[in-house]
Every structure is written in structure tokens, then in C-alpha cells.
Chain A
Amino acid sequence: MVYRGPYRVRPEEKDRPSIEHPNDAIVRVTRAAICGSDLHLYHGLMPDTRVGMTFGHEFVGVVDEVGPSVRNLKAGDRVMVPFNIFCGTCYFCARGLYSNCHNVNPNATAVGGIYGYSHTCGGYDGGQAEYVRVPLADVGPSLIPDWMDEDDAVLLTDALATGYFGAQLGDISEGDVVVVFGAGPVGLYAAASAWLMGAGRVIVIDHLDYRLEKAATFAHAETINFTEYDDIVVHMKKITDHLGADVAIDAVGAEADGNLLQHVTAAKLKLQGGSPVALNWAIDSVRKGGTISVMGAYGPMFSAIKFGDAMNKGLTLRMNQCPVKRQWPRLFEHIRNGYLKPSDIVTHRIPLEHIAEGYHIFSAKLDGCIKPLIIPNAA
């Protein structure tokens, strides 16, 4: 697929990617997914998103070719590829902060490299394609375990790992009340992961009933549709003994609804790096001394965040892009034990040639869409 401008994508023939660095691999994609954060690109919100780019940072496939210095992979290997591109040895990678790699993104120092996520994130084509270039192939990809379903594997490349990471950033203790803003894929996974860390209550907030129903069944969560309340913060206080939740997780990010002014100035007019409605609700509805974990993706511009309330309440704000590969060994265990079944939230399987309809269905929330997978012809 290629991006043609805001709200426009189309399938297009491009040259098969080639080895550009000795440690590159070329992977034939067998499953990809559209991520909620791809919608920020699709809606023209992310600076330096160029016409002709191929999106897609969630994908798995089969190694088709390797560069001369690749030691850990060979042609024919089934691999899952984390959305982070990383070198493994810079100051940040050496400390496990793979999402903050300093050696792979010349366009910005504030963010690492991400497949198919604008030139602000390095200018790499993504995996919503038949073939994709995978740089630094000795450190990024892992073999897909024989027992693992390919649909589960593709969801481990970002959404599940990010939701699980988000719950960890909440620093949850046994019996904590955890509120998750957003019942999209990352919010659902964060809610399910909060129980693994011993949460005493998990509450998910959204405005789409069909997604809240999924939060109740998939993540065993209490659910709240914020459109049914005049002031969601007051309601949150009422149901938490007027103290507030111990932990809040923002799994919404840049295009949050719930405040027309914020939404229009950020998501439509691009005058903010993101609409911080969910983040502001998190700040106001968490208890004093509580923790906020930000998993929602925001752009690099400034946003109108209620920072004074965060300061006065003594909050801890924790956030990062997920260093995916660090989460995998434990998540493999949880999937194998049956604690998490990531593919339970997949609602659509879309052939690559119908990519435009796929983006529209996901963006406009048609047909109960929660997580669409993309199936390339070569799969």
C-alpha cells in the first residue's frame, strides 16, 4: 500500500526492497495489522508523512533474503518483527531502551526508528506490503515459536506488548484500582494485563459500546461510556470513594474525543501534537500521589495538558514507546498458559488489495471493527 494524502491510501506496485545495509533482511510478509496509531498518519496528523510511503509497523513473515553480515537468520525462517528498529548497542539500547535507539533515526532524536511511521520516525517503509526491508536483522526479529498462531504473533509485534508495557508503567500493586482510557486494542490488552499484576478493580472508559462490550468479555473489566455522563471525572470520583483511581492508563492518544475544542484543534486543525482529553481526564480522575501511564501516541508538537493539576496532585507520569522485544519472553509464557489470547480481538481480515476500505473501516469504526489484520497476496 502507499499513502496518497490525508484519508487516502491505495494498493500500488513498488519495487521489491533490496539489501541497503549489510545487516538487512528482506522479509516476505504473511500477516500485517493496522494499528490505531496508523490512523494518526492516515489522518495527516504526523509531521513528515510523505506521499508514497508504505505504512505498517505490525507484521510477521518469512525471511526471503539476508545481507552479508546477518548471522542469526536465514532464508525461510518464520519471523516476528518488533515495531522498533534498533541497533542493540547505543547508549539507550545497551540499557534495554530499544524504542529509544539513537542509531537508526536521522530525522529526530526524540523518537527511535519505527517501520512505516513517517520520516519523523526514520523514513522506513512498513509491512503493509508483500515484502519489507528489515534493518539490523540480527537484533530485531525473533523466530515465531512453532506452537504460536501467526495471528497471535502479529499482535505481539506492537499492540499486546504495548498494552502489557503500559500496565507495567502503571506500577500496579495488589488491590490497586486501575482505570484505562480507551477500549481499542492497546486499551483492551492493558486492562487484561492489569489483572496479571494484581489489580483489584479494572475500569475501562470509552464512547463506543461495542468496544466496551469487548472490554467486559475479553478483559473482565467494569465499563463506562463517558457520553452517558455530564462529567466523567465526577463519576470516576463517585465510584472510587471520592479518592480517585490508583493508576490511570491513557490508551487513546492524539485523536481523543470528549472535548470538541481539543479534538478540532488537534485532530482536525493539527494545531496541537495531540488532543489530550484522555490524558487530562486521567490527571483529574486518578488519586493524589497516583500514577499515570501514557500509551496513547502523541505527535511532537505541544499539547494543552493540565500540568498544574498533575503537579499539585503529586502524580507520577510514566510513558515511552514500548521496547517490544523485552516483553516477549514473559508474554510467550502468558499466551502459552492461556492467560492472554491476543487474537480474540481480531474482527476483520482484509486482503492487501482492499487496503483503502480497510483503513476506512477501522477509521470510521464500521461493522464493529476493533482490530483489522491485513493479508498480503503472498501470504
Chain B
Amino acid sequence: MAYTPDKPKLPETSDELRARIPGWGADLDPRDRPAVPREQFDPTFSGAHWEFPERQPELWPRERSIEHAFLTPVFGTSCPPKGLSGKIRRYSYARYSEARAAHWLLLLASDRVDAVESTLRSFVSRRPDNPVTETGVLADGPRGERRADKGHHLLDPVIVAAPWVLGAGLAYALIRRLVRQ
């Protein structure tokens, strides 16, 4: 073979593909596709009857990116920051822009702190965390041999179990120390 100006021959012609594949070429014209052109100026297309949406009431100080000029008029209220994780989150939003790795690393750290705090909190609630039912591993059951990518998941049990094993070890060490005193 040689490298030449020609486009390599395809295994099937367009007519053959049209006959074999339902809808082949229905969007053949690149200019007649819904995402083309990328930007299509039409502020009325969406059905909005506002130029700027009414502002949603801010019921608690809502954390926001410092790259925004103001709190957006609409926002989610799923899980207000709380505890130590909440303090880390608020600091991260107040101090660092999205451009800074520190912003994201602090948020990831606060996620891990949140998981620990929430688990500890659950132990004094009517519904303590249960790593067996919550990980869904019971679905493995006798069908474990049908797991399609075993290699990929070798690390998963370690990552899931490690904080629990570590926590149990620390609790055991603490109790033993108290008993000895």
C-alpha cells in the first residue's frame, strides 16, 4: 500500500448502507441538524415570559462561586451545609474560585468528612447506616459469577470497607483503653 491523496475505499457504498440501516442519511445535510449552528439567537424560543427570572427567596446564606456576580435567581436547596463539612464547604466557596485546585480538593475533602459525620450521626438515630444494605452487595449473591468486569472492581471493596474497618479498629482501641483505665 501507499499513502495517496484518495480517501480509502469503504466496505459498503451509501446505497448499500441506506438499504441495510433504517434511517441512514436522514440527517445527511450538516446544516440541517438541530445543534447546527451551535449558537442560534432566539430569546423567545424557550417559552420564557421574563427577561430575568424572579428571585427565589434565600432562606439561609447560600454558598456561591465567587466567579458569579450575585446569587443566581434560582438555585437548589437540597442539603444546606452543616457540621465540620459545612464549614469546609463554606470556606472553599468564600475563598477560592473554580480555577483553583484548592477549591475542588477542599470540596472533595468535605465530602469525605460529610460521609463520616453522617454515619456517626446515624448511629444515634433510629436508622443507623448499614454498609451491607446500602452498598447493594446483596444483589451479587449467587449471581456473583456473572459480574462482567471483575478486574475493574478489585479495588472497590477495599475502598468501601476501609473506612469501616478503620473506624471499627479505632473504636475497639478506644474502648479497650477506657476499660483498662
Q: Which residues of A contact B (CB under 8 A)?
A: 4-10, 12, 20-23, 44, 47-54, 69, 71-72, 85-89, 93-98, 102-110, 113, 119-120, 122-125, 135-136, 138-139, 165, 168-169, 171-175, 177, 193, 195-198, 200-201, 207-208, 210, 220, 240-243, 257, 263-264, 268, 270, 273, 299-302, 323, 325-327, 329-330, 334, 337-340, 356-361, 364-368
A103 to B73, CA, bound (A): 6
A330 B108 Cβ-Cβ under 8 A: no
Query: Is B19 positioned at the interface, with any CB of A under 8 Å from its CB?
Result: no
B73 A197 Cβ-Cβ under 8 A: no
Given A20-B57, A89-B52, A102-B72, A359:B98 Cβ within 8 A: no
A364 to B51, CA, bound (A): 46
Query: Is B139 positioned at the interface, with any CB of A under 8 Å from its CB?
Result: yes
Query: Is B133 positioned at the interface, with any CB of A under 8 Å from its CB?
Result: yes
A198 B24 Cβ-Cβ under 8 A: yes
A365 to B27, CA, bound (A): 33
A108 B98 Cβ-Cβ under 8 A: yes
Given A339-B22, A356-B135, A50:B78 Cβ within 8 A: yes
B143 A109 Cβ-Cβ under 8 A: no
B98 A138 Cβ-Cβ under 8 A: no
Given A8-B131, A120-B107, A195-B17, A20:B72 Cβ within 8 A: no
Query: Is B101 positioned at the interface, with any CB of A under 8 Å from its CB?
Result: yes
Q: Which 4 A-B pairs have the closest CB atoms?
A: A339-B23, A360-B136, A88-B46, A123-B76
B98 A360 Cβ-Cβ under 8 A: no
A190 smallest CB distance to B (angstroms): 13
Given A47-B111, A50-B79, A89-B43, A367:B146 Cβ within 8 A: yes
A175 B7 Cβ-Cβ under 8 A: yes
Task: Pick 22 A–B contacts, CB within 8 A, sort by A.
Answer: A4-B118, A7-B159, A8-B135, A8-B160, A10-B130, A20-B77, A47-B104, A52-B118, A93-B43, A103-B74, A105-B72, A106-B62, A107-B65, A122-B75, A200-B14, A273-B104, A329-B34, A330-B27, A338-B22, A340-B23, A367-B143, A368-B146
Residues of A within 8 A of B75 (CB): 104-106, 122-123
Q: Given contacts A106-B65, A329-B34, list 18 more A-B pairs with CB under 8 A.
A: A4-B115, A44-B115, A51-B114, A88-B45, A88-B46, A89-B52, A89-B53, A93-B46, A96-B40, A103-B73, A103-B74, A123-B77, A124-B76, A139-B47, A195-B21, A326-B35, A356-B135, A359-B136
A104 smallest CB distance to B (angstroms): 5
Tell me the chain B residues, 78-107 only, with Cβ under 8 Å from chain A.
Answer: 78-79, 81, 85, 89, 93, 98, 101, 104-105, 107
Residues of B within 8 A of A48 (CB): 89, 107, 110-111
Tell me the chain B residues, 1-54 only, with Cβ under 8 Å from chain A.
Answer: 1, 3, 7-8, 10-12, 14, 17, 20-28, 30, 33-36, 38-43, 45-54
A49 to B115, CA, bound (A): 10
Interface centre among A9, A93, A200, A364 (most CB of B within 10 A): A364
- In this complex, how many residues of chain B approach chain A with their Cβ under 8 Å: the count is 98
A141 to B35, CA, bound (A): 19
Scoring B residues 143 to 164 as 1 if CB is less than 8 Å from chain A, else 0, what string do you get? 1001111001101100110000
Residues of A within 8 A of B41 (CB): 94-96
B25 A198 Cβ-Cβ under 8 A: yes
A297 to B74, CA, bound (A): 24
A52 nearest in chain B by CB position: B79
A270 to B109, CA, bound (A): 10
B28 A23 Cβ-Cβ under 8 A: no
B20 A109 Cβ-Cβ under 8 A: no
Residues of B within 8 A of A177 (CB): 10
A174 B134 Cβ-Cβ under 8 A: no
Residues of A within 8 A of B54 (CB): 21-23, 69
Partner of B78, one of A119, A195, A366: A119
Query: Is B174 positioned at the interface, with any CB of A under 8 Å from its CB?
Result: no
Given A7-B135, A361-B136, A174:B28 Cβ within 8 A: yes
Residues of B within 8 A of A109 (CB): 65, 67-68, 98
A55 smallest CB distance to B (angstroms): 10
A102 to B62, CA, bound (A): 16
